[in-house]
Amino acid sequence: MKQLSENSQFCELKETSRIDFLLKTITLMILVLIFWSINSSISLADRDPYLDHNVLLFADEVTYDDKKGIVIARGNVEVSQAGRIVIADSIIYDKDKDELSARGNVSLMEPTGEVAFAKQIKLRNQMKDGVLNELHIRLTDNSRISANSAKRINGLKTEMNKAVYSPCELCIDKPKEPPLWQIKAMKVVHNLDTRDIGYHDAWMEFYGVPLFYTPYFQHPDPTVERRSGFLAPSYSNSSSLGFELKTPYYWNIAPEKDATFAPRFYTTGRVVLGGEYREHFGTGDLRIASSITYTDKLDNDGNEINGNEFRGHLFSDGHFEIDETWNWGYNFERASDDTYLRRYRIESKDTLITNPYIEGINGGNYFAANAYFFQGLEETDDQGQIPIILPFAEFSHISQPGWAGSYKTLKTNLMALQRLEGADSRRLSLEGGWHLPTKSNGGHVWTGSLSLRADLYHVNNVINRRDPLTNTSSGMTGRIRPTALLEWRYPLIKRDGNVSHVLEPIVQGILSPYGGNPVEIPNEDSQNFEFNDSNLFSESRFTGLDRLESGPRINYGIRYGAYGVSGGKTTAVIGQSARLKDDDTFGQGSGLEDQYSDYVGRLLMAPSKYYSLAYRFRLDRETIEARRNEISFTGGTDYLRLHMGYALLEKQLSEVETSGFANREEMVTSLLSRFTKFWSLSADLRRNLTGSGGTVSWSSGLTYEDECFLFSTKYGRTFTRDREVEPDDTLIFKVLLKNLG
C-alpha cells in the first residue's frame, strides 16, 4: 500500500527528472481546468458545501475522454472524495455516473481511520456505495476483518459475506496458521452509524478449533469508547465463601456519567449486590461505591446464630472547583460492621475516614477547613472513644522576599475535638516567623529564623500522663514558645569523569526554653512519632501541634551524593541530635529520650535501572546496635525481577503507657518473571519474624497477555484471624477476550 505523507503526496523531486515533473504539472493543471469548467455553474457562495462532491486525483499517467466524461489513471493512483481516499494501480472514473472502478493493490481509507484492502472495487455515490472483492479491513484498533466479498451501503454500512474477525496478530514464522482466537460468520455487518459489528451464523474458534456457535452476536466497533453492556466476569474460590462469580454490567448513562452494577454470587453465602456510580461535572467529579447483602448472623468465631441481618458499605468521594482560588470536596467511608469489608475482600482497612473539606490557594496564602469522622474496625476499637474533629481549620501566609531576601511567615490553626466518652479539647494556635536565607562568597549557606508561637487550649477529662490512673484535667491552659534557629551548610562539589560528587556537612542550632508541654495539654495529633533521617533537621519532630520540642539543642550530620551522567546515583545521610539535658517529652525507645540521640541515616544505591538498594537505620548511640532497620532491595530485568524488604523496629513507649509494644520484625518478598513475551509469573510472601509470628500471607500467579487475549490465575493464603474472618485460601481465575466490548 502506498503511504501518504507531506513529502510523497505528489512526487519527490530528487527521484524525478525535470521533464517528468513538468509533464505531471501540466497534467495536473489540465485536470484542474477540466473540473473547473465542468463545475463552472457553481456560484462562489455554494463552493464550500460543494467541495465534498469534487474528486481530487493524482497519478503517474492520466487520460481524459471529454465526450464520455471518463478519466483513466494508471500508476500510483490516489483519488480523494468526501474525505475518502482510494489508492490503486489503476482506476476508471465515470463522471456522469459518479462511478469509480479500481484494480490492483486497492486500498480504501475511511474518514474514521479504517483501511480496507481489496483486489478490486467498484464505488459510486461519492464512493459511499459499491462492491468489494477479496476484502481485508484493518480497524482503528488494528483488529482485522477478511471476507470473500462485501457491499457498501451509503458509506455507513458494510455487509461482508463469509467473513472472519480477529484482533490477534498472526505468527510471523507461520502466517498461514489460525490466530489464537477468531470469529467466523456467514455474514458480518459493520454499521458505522450505530458503530456496531454484528455476526450472523457465527462460530468462535481457538487455534482454528470451533468451540461454540451462536446464531447472532454483536459488539461495538473500535470507535466506541463507552457502551452499556456486560463486562468480563471474574471467578474465584475461597475456603470461607466457596465459589464466587462476579458479573459486572456497565451502564453508559450519558457522556459525563456512568454506573457499574457488580453482583457477587457465592456457593456458601448469599448474593452481595454492589455497584459504582461516577459523574463528571464541569467543575469536578463524583464517585459512589456501595454494596449490600442480607445474610445469616454470625458470632465472632464465624458460627451461625439465630436470625438474619443486612450488611454492607458505602464509599463516596467528590472534588469540585469553585473558582481559580477555592475548591471543596469530601471523602465518605462507612461499613455496617467491623469485619464486613475483609470478609468479602472489598477492602482491608483498619479505620474508615469521612472527611469533608474546603481549601483555597492564592499566591503565598493557603487556607483549609476540614472535619474528620472515624470508624474503627479493629476488635479493640471503642467507637465512643474515637474522636470527632470538627472543625480543623488552618491558614498560612508566606510574604514576598524583603530586606536581603528575608521573608515572613504566619500560621494559624483551629481545632475542636470531642468524644462521646473520654477527653475533649479545643485548640487555637498562632505562630509568626521571620526567616533570612543567605550565602557567603565562600559557598557557605546560612539560614536564620526567629519565631513565636502561642497555643490556647480548653480541655475536658484529659489524662495526666504523669499519673494516668487517677487524675484528669479540665479547663483553660496554654503556652507561649519563642524559638531561634541558625543553620549552616557547606556543599562541596567534585566532578570525577562522568560522576559528580556532592559532600555537604550540616549543623543546625535551635534555641528555645524548656518545658511547654504541661500535663493539661492532651496529645491528640503527635502520637505517631518516629525519629528518622527525614526529620533529623526539623525544628520540631512531632507530626502535630500538641507536642513541642523544648530546650537548646544541636542537630548535625553530613550528606553525600554521587550522580552519574547515565542516571545512576548513590546518596547517603547520617546524623545525630544533642541537647543540654534530657527531655521526658519523648518516650522510652524513641531514640531521643537521652541527652544524645541515636544515630539515624539512610543509604540509597541505584547505579542503574536494573537494581537498587535502600537502607534506613537508627543505631544505638552507645552500642551502635540497630534499633531500627529498613532494607529494601529491587533487582533484575523484566525476565526476572526480585523485590525484598525487611523491617525491624524496637519497642517504644508512649508518654501515657507503662508497657510498650514488643519488637516488630517483618520481611516481604515478591518476584515477577516475564519469561516470554506474553507469559509472566508472580509470587509474594509476607512473614512476621518475631517469636509469636509466622507467615502472614503468600500468593502466586500466572498470567498470559497479548494484544487480543488475557488469561490470569492467582492462588494465595492469608493466615490472619479477626473474629469471623478466618485464615483463607483463595483461587482467582480470569479470562478476557479483548476488543469484544
- Beta-carbon contacts of 126 under 8 Å, excluding residues fewer than 6 positions away, are 52, 53, 81, 82, 84, 98, 155
- Same structural domain, 418 and 340: no
Q: Is residue 41 part of a domain?
A: yes
Mean pLDDT within 378-390: 91
Choosing from 585, 613, 641, the residue where a domain stops is: 613
Q: Is residue 68 part of a domain?
A: yes
What CA–CA distance (Å, rounded) separates 635 from 658?
43
Residue 299 has pLDDT above 80, yes or no: no
Residue 470 has pLDDT above 80, yes or no: no
Predicted confidence band of residue 449 (pLDDT cuts 50, 70, 90): very high
Q: How far is CA 277 from CA 231, 260, 282, in A?
A: 15, 6, 17
- Residue pLDDT, tens place only, 487-511: 999 999 999 989 999 999 999 999 9
Q: How far is CA 717 from CA 345, 394, 720, in A?
A: 13, 45, 9
- Beta-carbon contacts of 697 under 8 Å, excluding residues fewer than 6 positions away, are 684, 685, 686, 716, 717, 718, 719, 720
**pLDDT at 6 (0 to 100):** 31
Cell triple for 223: 470507535
- Are 526 and 546 contacting, i.e. CB atoms less than 8 angstroms apart? yes
Residues in the chain: 741
Q: Is residue 165 part of a domain?
A: yes
Cell triple for 548: 513541642
- Same structural domain, 333 and 437: no
- Are 135 and 149 contacting, i.e. CB atoms less than 8 angstroms apart? yes
- Same structural domain, 545 and 425: yes
CATH of the domain at 124: 2.60.450.10
Place of cell 475482600: 345
* Run of H or E including 449: strand 445-463
Mean pLDDT within 133-162: 89
Cell triple for 418: 470531642
**pLDDT at 680 (0 to 100):** 95
Residue 28 has pLDDT above 80, yes or no: no
- Residue pLDDT, tens place only, 628-670: 999 999 999 989 999 999 998 877 666 555 444 457 889 999 9
- Are 298 and 336 contacting, i.e. CB atoms less than 8 angstroms apart? no
* Domain extent at residue 458: 390-613
- Same structural domain, 209 and 289: no
- Same structural domain, 548 and 460: yes
Q: Check residue 46 and report its DSSP letter.
A: G
Of 421, 326, 313, 331, the closest CA to residue 372 belongs to 331
Predicted confidence band of residue 468 (pLDDT cuts 50, 70, 90): low
- Same structural domain, 426 and 321: no
Beta-sheet strands, E only, within 207-255: 209-220, 229-230, 234-238, 242-246, 249-254
Choosing from 613, 641, 658, the residue where a domain stops is: 613
Q: Is residue 719 part of a domain?
A: no
- Same structural domain, 201 and 101: yes
Beta-sheet strands, E only, within 35-98: 56-58, 61-65, 70-81, 84-94
**What pTM was estimated for this model as a whole?**
0.81
Residue type for position 564: G
- Residue pLDDT, tens place only, 225-259: 888 888 888 889 888 888 999 989 999 999 999 99
- Same structural domain, 279 and 427: no
Q: Is residue 579 part of a domain?
A: yes
Q: Is residue 712 part of a domain?
A: no
- How many distinct structural domains can be found in the chain? 3
Residue 124 has pLDDT above 90, yes or no: no
Quote the percentage of the chain above a pLDDT of 90.
Answer: 49
- Same structural domain, 52 and 131: yes
Choosing from 350, 379, 408, the residue where a domain stops is: 379
- Same structural domain, 499 and 374: no
Residue type for position 452: L
| Strand-strand pairing, 196-206 and 209-220 | antiparallel
- Residue pLDDT, tens place only, 669-717: 999 999 998 999 999 999 988 877 788 899 999 999 998 899 999 999 9
Q: Is residue 639 part of a domain?
A: no
- Same structural domain, 43 and 187: yes
- Same structural domain, 528 and 410: yes
What CA–CA distance (Å, rounded) separates 64 from 680?
61
Q: Is residue 737 part of a domain?
A: no
